[in-house]
Structure 1
Amino acid sequence: MPHHDLIVIGAGPGGYVAAIRAAQLGKNVACVEKEPLLGGTCLRVGCIPSKALLESSHLYEQATHGWADRGIGVSKVQLDLAAMLKHKQQVVNTLGGGIDGLFKKHKITRYLGHASFDGPGRVIVKGSKDEQELTADNVLIAAGSSVASLPGIEIDEDRIVSSTGALSFNEVPKHLIVIGAGYI
């Protein structure tokens, strides 16, 4: 059974930074993450993709309203949501790939799956096909966050969507109500 100085559960901003820093300090580090792409909610489906789409929206707004004031004429400006979503995903993949590169550089062992404890310093990783037991001198839990729904309101990702669902609309909705004011 593999033994590590540190096992980090979760590869979001808290987890991957801790894993990299511990490895830089000479520790044998492993990281358990349930998603193939490192970076957590913020990078994969939260802050980063929302800001990528927001930047594209600002550019569209400038092209349709703001550039004429500066003497720049643009005609036939069109919004291509599919291209905007593709760009958003490219940004996410590039940044996630950068974290993966840092893990490789610092020899951090990655385990894809869900972590659970089987005693002090004993972690079970349940992947899609197998289960593996790990041991460590130290374990850091950086499991991140998840969407919280309002009591009595079910998020169906059709009419009532989470921030993750909103970042994947196939078309711009005619009407939209936003409840909440978090980072995403």
Structure 2
Amino acid sequence: MKTILTLSSCLFALASVARADATMRFIEGAPKDSFEISSDSECLNGPLTVSINLEGSAGGLIFDTTSKGAGVEVFHPFELTAGTALVNQAPAVMDGDTALSLRLSELPKGQIVAFTLDVDDTCGAREITVTGAEIAGARVKVNSVEGSQSAVFDATARVRVDVSSCNA
């Protein structure tokens, strides 16, 4: 019985390691907040869409892209800052939006797609400063040829989405 449990544990551990993952992190900045998307595998080769949905975030977050509208004080529109060649279609983000989607040609291991955009909270005392805990609960979804998977940001402003069962 002990041997069977050990073998099962090893097989589970191997299956967990053999995942292709996309990782996103949020970096608070003023006036530009940043998002970085990366992969730790060679498996995200086909076209894919990475979507962020701020609904469900602890801070009631919104995108603040213009001087007038839902945001407060400072604002900044969507701007790609890294991995531009990997982006097939950048989103048109409107002031007060809570979601955006980036269409990518691929996401090779070790490369980063990054963009800046102002994010404001609607629940806190300082709407212009967003902490990692305030983005907790926001969802990232990755649609690829393998299917669709999603996960939520944690309190450290990071999210890891298991995308594929590829062994690379």
For normalisation by structure 2, the TM-score amounts to 0.24
User: Whose helix proportion is higher, 1 or 2?
Assistant: 1
Larger radius of gyration: 1
User: What is the TM-score of this pair, normalised by structure 1?
Assistant: 0.22
